[in-house]
Structure 1
Amino acid sequence: MSSIKQKTTNGLKWSAIERIATQAVQLIVMLILGRMLGPEAFGLVGMLAIFIAISQTFVDSGFSSALIRKQDRSEADYATTFYFNIVISLICYVLLFICAPYIADFYQQPELINLTRVLGIVVLVNAFTVVQRTRLTVAMDFKTQAKASILSVSCSTIITLILAYYNFGVWVLVGQTLSFAIFNVIFFNVFDPWLPKCGFSKSSFKELFGFGSKLLASAILATIYENIYQIIIGKLFNAGQLGLFTQAKNLSSMPAMTLTGIIQRVTYPMMSQIQNDKQALDKAYLLTLRLAAVVISPLIIGLGLVSKPLLTVLLGQEWQSAAELMTILCIGYMLYPIHAINLNLLQVKGRSDLFLKLEIIKKVITTIVLVITVPLGIKAICIGMVTQSYLALFINTYYTGKLSSLTMLKQFKALISIWLLTFGCAAVASLWYLIVGNDIIQLGLIIITALSLYFIIIKYLQSDLFDYIINAIFRKSN
C-alpha cells in the first residue's frame, strides 16, 4: 500500500473514531438536556447561533483551507495565520459584547444580553486551536486530534451534567459549549504543543488571504443562510417553537455533517496532494461520493423514518411536534455529503472564485424560497429548505462537471442505485407502523429490519464499497 493510501485509510479510521465518539456523547447529553430543560432553553441559544457562527467564520477566514491546499507552506504561514486568528477573534468578541443589548432587543429577550457576552467567549477560545488543528490535518495526523477531542468532550460532559443537576437552566448549554472549547485548547497543546517561531508576514498574509478571502465570502453567505431560519423563527414565532425547530434541525443534520466531515477532512489534504493528476483525482472523488452515499443515506432516511417514536421515547411528548419537521429535513440532508464533496473539488482545483459564485447563485434561490415559505409557517420553511437543497444539487454538479469528468449524469448514475436501495429498505421497514402500536417496539423492529436488509443488499450489489469499508475499519494500522 502506498504511503498516501495508507495515511488516507488510517486517517479515515481515526477521523471516524473522533467524530463518531464526540458526536455520540454530545447527542446523548443533548437528549438528556432536552428532557431536563425543554424547548425554550434550546430556542434561546439557537437565537445566538448565527452571531457565534459568523464570528467563527471571520476568525478562520479561509486560512485553514489555504494552508492545507498550499504545497510549500512555511512556519511564517502558520505564524501569520495564528496572529490573524487571535486579532480577529478579539475584534469579534468586542463587537458581540457591544451588540448584546441590540440582539436582546431584536428578539425581545432581555436574558440574551448576558448569554451573548458569556457564550461569545468561545470565539476567543477557539482561535487558539485553528493552527494546531490545521497542522495536524496537513500531516494527516487524525489520531492526535481524536485523542484531544474525545478527552475534551468527556471532561465537558461531566461539567455539563453537574450544571444540569444543580438546575442552571439555559446556562447549562452555555457551559457545555465553553467547557468543550477550553478543554480542546488544553489537550491540543498537551499533545501537539506549538507556538509561533516568527512574526507576522505580509507576503504570507497576502498569499493566504488571496485564496481564503473568496472562501471567507462564501462561508459568510453559507453561515448566514444556514442560520437565517433561527433568526426568522425566533423573531416571528417564539423561543419554544424555535427550540423545536433547532432540535429537529440538529438531529436530522448531525449524521450527515458528522460523517461527511469525517470523509472530507481526510480526503481534502489527500486530494490536494494529487491535484495535478486529473485521472487519479477524478477516480478518488467518485469513490468518495459513493462511499459517502452508501454510509450516510441510510442513516439519514432511517432517522426520518423513526423520528416520531424516537423523539417520543427519548425526549418525551413535549418534543413530538419536532418529529414531522425532522422527517422533512432528513429528505434534504440526504444530499448534504454530495454538496460538500462537489464543493470540495472546487477548492482542490483552486477555484475559490467559482466557489463564491455558486454560493451567491444558491443564496438568491434560498431567498426566493424563504419569501414564499415564511408566511406559511415552520413546516413550509422546512419544505423550502429541502427544495433548495435539491435545486442546489443541480448547480453544484453542473460546475463540477466543467472542471472534471464527474458530470451531473455520471454522478447520478453512480448514486441512484444506492438511493433506491435506501428508500426501498425504508419502505419495507415502515410496514411495522401498520402492525405494531407500541413506540419502543416500533422503533426496535424498524431499525433492525431496515439495517439488516440494507446490509445484505449492499454486500452483494455494492460489494466494492462494502469491502472497502470493512477493510478500512478492521485493517491494522502500521
Structure 2
Amino acid sequence: MFIISELFSIVVYIVIYLMAPSIANFYNNNDLTLIVRVFALKLPLSAFNAIQQAYVSKKMLFKKIFISTTASAIISGCIGIVLAYMGFGIWALIMQYILNTVIVSIALFVQLDWRPEWKFSWSSGKPLLNYGWKVLMTSILGAFFNQLRTLLLGKAYTPAELAYYNRGQKFPELLSQNIDGTISTVLFPAMSAYNDDLEKIKLLVRKSIKVSTFIIMPLMFGMAATAKPIILILLTDKWIESVPYMQYLCIAGAFGTISNTNMQAISAIGRSDILLNLELIKKPIYLLLLVVGLKISVLAVAYTMTIYSVCSALLNMSPNRKLLSYKFKE
C-alpha cells in the first residue's frame, strides 16, 4: 500500500503541476502557478505519512502521534511566524504546511519500527485495493465538493465575503476536527478489532455518539450563542461580519459527529461500497443546496450547508438500521 499510495500521489502531483497555469488563469492570478506547484509537493509527502498514521492507528500507539504532531506544530509554526515577519508572505504559510508534514513523518520514522521495503505482492494488495478504492473515491468526492464551495464563492463574490465565510467556519471546524477527529481516530481501529461482532460494534457506536455529542453539542450551540463576543475579543471588530456565518456553521458542525461515527462503523465492518453509495446520494443534494445558496448570498450558502448537515446525518445513520440493527429511535 505504501508503494501504491506513493505512485498514486506522484501521478496526482503531475496532473496538478500541469493544471497549475489553468488554475491561475481561472482566478486571473499568474502568481498561483508557482504557488500551486510548490504547495502540491505536500501530496507525496503526505502519502508517506498516511502509511505511518495507519500503522500507528492499527497498533493504537496514539502517544507517538501526540509527540510527533505536537513537535511538528510547534517547530513549523515558529518557522512560519519567523518567515512571515521576514516578509515572505504567502510562502511563509506554504513552508509551514510542508514542514509540518515533513517533521511529523521524521518524528514517526524515528519512533516506529515500521520501515518501507521495496517489495510488492499483488495477491496481498488486491483485497486492500478492492476495499480502499471505494474509500478513496468517497474521500475525493467529499474533498472535491468541500473545495468546490470555496472555489465558487471565490468566483461569484468578493475575496472579502469569502474571507468572512472562511473565518466564520474556522472556529466550529477547529472544535469538530480536534474533538470529533480524535474520537474517530481511536474508534475506527477499536471497531475494526470486532468487525465480526456486530453487537459489540453497535455498543461502541452508541457509546461514541453519547460521549462526542455530550461534548460537541453544548460547545457548538454555546459558541453559536456567543459568536459575537468571541469574534470581537479574538479577531476585533474588523471581522464582525463573520458572526452570522459562524453561528450557522456551528449548528451545521453540531451534527457532524453523528455522521462521522456512523460512517466509521460502516467502514470498520468492511462495507466501503455503502460509503461510496452514500456519497453518490448526498452530493447531488449538496450541489443543489449550494447552487440555491449561491443564487441568493454568501450567508445563504452557510444556511443551506446547515440544512445539508442535518440531511447528511440522517442519511449516514440509515444503513446501520440494517447492518447493526441500530434504529433511528435508539
For residue 278 of structure 2, what is the aligned residue in structure 1?
358
Q: Indicate yes or no: 2:35 matched with 1:115.
A: yes
What TM-score results when the alignment is normalised by the length of structure 1? 0.67
For the 8 Å contact 2:201–2:265, the answer to whether it is kept is no
Matches within 5 A, 1:84-233: 84-233=4-153
The one of 397, 402, 414 aligned to 2:317: 397
Over aligned residue pairs, what C-alpha RMSD do you find? 1.4
Matches within 5 A, 1:337-416: 337-410=257-330
Matches within 5 A, 1:233-272: 233-272=153-192
Which has the bigger relative contact order, CA under 8 A and spacing at least 6? Answer: 1
Question: 1:135: how far off?
Answer: 1.0
For the 8 Å contact 1:257–1:336, the answer to whether it is kept is no
Give the distance between the partners of 1:156 and 1:366, measured in 2 at CA. 35
Give the distance between the partners of 1:394 and 1:145, measured in 2 at CA. 32
For the 8 Å contact 2:138–2:276, the answer to whether it is kept is yes
For the 8 Å contact 2:195–2:269, the answer to whether it is kept is yes
For the 8 Å contact 1:257–1:337, the answer to whether it is kept is no
Question: 1:360: how far off?
Answer: 0.8
Give the distance between the partners of 1:323 and 1:168, measured in 2 at CA. 30
The one of 252, 256, 261 aligned to 1:336: 256
For residue 280 of structure 1, what is the aligned residue in structure 2?
200
Q: Which amino acid aligns with 2:79?
A: I
Q: Helix, strand or coil for the counterpart of 2:4?
A: helix
What TM-score results when the alignment is normalised by the length of structure 2? 0.96
Give the gaps of 5 or more residues in structure 1.
Answer: 1-80, 411-478
For residue 445 of structure 1, what is the aligned residue in structure 2?
none
Give the distance between the partners of 1:110 and 1:284, measured in 2 at CA. 51
For residue 244 of structure 2, what is the aligned residue in structure 1?
324
Give the distance between the partners of 2:13 and 2:118, measured in 1 at CA. 26
For residue 73 of structure 1, what is the aligned residue in structure 2?
none
Identity %: 27
* CA deviation vs aligned residue, 1:281-327 (integer Å, no higher than 9, x gap): 21121111100100111111222222212122212222211111011
Work out which of the two has the higher radius of gyration on C-alpha atoms and give 1 or 2.
1
Give the distance between the partners of 2:90 and 2:68, measured in 1 at CA. 26
Q: Call closer, same or farther: CA 1:241–1:111 in 2, change over 3 Å.
A: farther
The one of 218, 221, 225 aligned to 1:305: 225
For the 8 Å contact 1:252–1:326, the answer to whether it is kept is yes
* CA deviation vs aligned residue, 1:104-158 (integer Å, no higher than 9, x gap): 1111222211211111111122122122211111110101111111111111111
Give the gaps of 5 or more residues in structure 2.
Answer: none
Give the distance between the partners of 1:90 and 1:97, measured in 2 at CA. 10
* CA deviation vs aligned residue, 1:2-31 (integer Å, no higher than 9, x gap): xxxxxxxxxxxxxxxxxxxxxxxxxxxxxx
- More displaced, 125-134 or 192-201? 192-201
Question: 1:240: how far off?
Answer: 2.6
Question: 1:393: how far off?
Answer: 2.0
* CA deviation vs aligned residue, 1:34-65 (integer Å, no higher than 9, x gap): xxxxxxxxxxxxxxxxxxxxxxxxxxxxxxxx
Q: Helix, strand or coil for the counterpart of 1:361?
A: helix
Give the distance between the partners of 2:31 and 2:304, measured in 1 at CA. 31
